[in-house]
Chains A and B, each alone.
Chain A
Amino acid sequence: MQGAHPSPETLQRYFDAELAASETADVRTHVASCGPCSAQLASLKRLGAMLQMATEDSAQAVNFDAMFANIERGIATDRDASAKPAPVVDLMSQRMRRLSNAGPALGALALAAAVLLMVYRPDVSQSPSNEEPYEVSASSAHSEVVEVDFGSNAGTVFDISLSDGSSNPVVWIDDDEEQDEPETETGE
């Protein structure tokens, strides 16, 4: 029994198990006796399997090129295989191709978003009160003492600048007591 071919949409919904029970039975009966529709359904199954495989592969190793090459190859194969039964398969191939063409663009968008996230991600260790402007040139920035509390002692801050351009701040604090000495002499 051949009857009218189900529309590509109906076939797709049948593949996705979205049809009502009675409609499902009709399509199943038709596909069982119709070569072109059977081929179309088979191609849908192959495409689904390939997409799933590509997704699983990409979960193990992020490789956009391989994934989309795989999909494109599958689409090309399906298009060739279904060229004879004609209109149904052709329509579906074009549809899937359009979708797969959008894939690299989505991938690129995804990458751009990830890169933006990486660049503008706030440094977890950076204090929110940091108000210093962003400086690109790090070469001229040396070590420097920004705050010191000598407590009850007297102290001095030195800076040893070496010929190679490095700088070594020294905080010298007078110590009034010598600790942990057996014979402590005070008044140092």
Chain B
Amino acid sequence: MLSRTRQRVWLAPLCLVAMFSAAVAHADVATANPIPGEVLVLLASENEGAIDPSLGKLRALKHPPFNVFKSIKIMSRSAVQLVADKAVELDLPNGRKIHLTLLERQPDGRTKVQVSINRPYEKDYLPLLQVIARSGEHFFVAGQKFEGGTLVIGVRVGEHQKHAP
């Protein structure tokens, strides 16, 4: 005979296991799924001009191949939330669209993302780019001509880290 009292004694820890597991699973889903990021669209030119002061922290712009630019202005700065296998689409000033997709999280904390830049339904410019990005570090896609300058797209996946530019 398994009395009700005894059943309750066994039931309590089992209930707690279920609750704890559910809480852990919920916390994991809530924290692990969306990764914050940023897509920065810059218009750089070799003509004399100003470099947007807010770009001072982006030290990569002071190095080749970007150090030839004498003026850089911010066309857009978009915060994005990356969810696995769900593309984020943003409009570029030249009519193309950039698609950013989170492919996977690496065990070392980096994130594999896929980028493509094209006109809708075409593959004219950048059909595919895959980058394993360190959290907080930018990677850049540059070279598109626009309004006499060059578009520089900086993509950051994850929050800024200590060594982020």
A143 touches B25 (CB 8 A): no
Q: Is the CB of A168 within 8 A of B165?
A: yes
A135 to chain B, nearest CB (A): 4
Chain A residues engaging chain B, CB cutoff 8 angstroms? 9, 12-13, 15-16, 18, 44, 47-48, 51-52, 54-55, 58-59, 62, 64, 67, 71, 96, 99-100, 102-103, 106-107, 109-111, 113-114, 117-118, 121, 123-127, 130, 132, 134-138, 141-153, 155, 158, 160, 162, 164-175, 177-181, 188
- Please report the C-alpha to C-alpha distance between residue A16 and residue B112 in the assembled complex, in whole angstroms: 59
Q: Contact partner of A125 among B8, B105, B109, CB < 8 A?
A: B105
Contacts A12-B3, A145-B130 given; does A180 touch B9 at CB 8 Å: no
Interface of A: prevailing SS: mixed
Contact with A along B13-35 (1 / 0, CB 8 A): 11111011100110011001100
| A residues less than 8 Å from B130 (CB atoms) | 145-148
Out of A13, A16, A59, name the residue touching B19 (CB < 8 Å). A59
Task: Please report the C-alpha to C-alpha distance between residue A96 and residue B164 in the assembled complex, in whole angstroms.
Answer: 60
Known: A113-B17, A135-B108, A171-B139. 6 other contacts (CB 8 A): A62-B16, A107-B13, A124-B84, A141-B134, A143-B132, A147-B130
Neighbouring A residues of B106 by C-beta, 8 Å: 130, 132, 135, 141
A-B contact pairs, 19 of them (CB 8 A): A16-B5, A52-B8, A55-B12, A59-B15, A99-B5, A118-B21, A121-B24, A125-B104, A134-B107, A137-B108, A143-B134, A158-B65, A162-B60, A164-B163, A168-B140, A170-B142, A171-B139, A178-B94, A178-B146
Residues of B contacting A188 in the complex (Cβ-Cβ under 8 angstroms): 145
Closest to A121 in B: B28
Q: Is B48 an interface residue (CB 8 A)?
A: no
Q: Which B residues fall within an 8 A CB radius of A?
A: 1, 3-6, 8-17, 19-21, 24-25, 28-29, 32-33, 59-60, 63-66, 83-85, 93-96, 102-110, 112, 123-134, 137-147, 163-165
User: CA–CA, A103 to B146, complex, Å?
Assistant: 70
Q: A100 to B139, Cβ gap below 8 A?
A: no
Q: List the A residue with the shortest CB-CB distance to B154.
A: A168
Q: Known interface pairs A55-B11, A110-B13. Does A151 touch B123 (Cβ–Cβ under 8 Å)?
A: yes
Residues of chain B with a CB closer than 8 A to A117's CB: 21, 24
Determine how close the nearest CB of chain B comes to the CB of A77; give it in whole angstroms. 16
Partner of B17, one of A71, A103, A114, A166: A114
Cβ contacts under 8 Å, A160 to chain B? 60, 63-64
Partner of B9 from the list A99, A145, A148, A177 (CB cut-off 8 Å) is: A99
Q: How far is the CB of A49 from chain B (nearest CB, A)?
A: 10
Q: Which residues of B contact A137 (CB under 8 A)?
A: 108
A173 near B125 (CB under 8 angstroms)?
yes
Indicate if the CB atoms of A127 and B141 lie closer than 8 Å.
no
- Chain B residue contacts of A123, Cβ below 8 A: 32, 104-105
B137/A143 in contact, CB under 8 A:
yes
Asked if B126 and A171 make an inter-chain contact with CB atoms under 8 angstroms apart, the answer reads yes
Q: Is the CB of B16 within 8 A of A64?
A: yes
Give bound CA distance, A103 to B12, whole Å: 9
Q: How far is the CB of B32 from chain A (nearest CB, A)?
A: 7
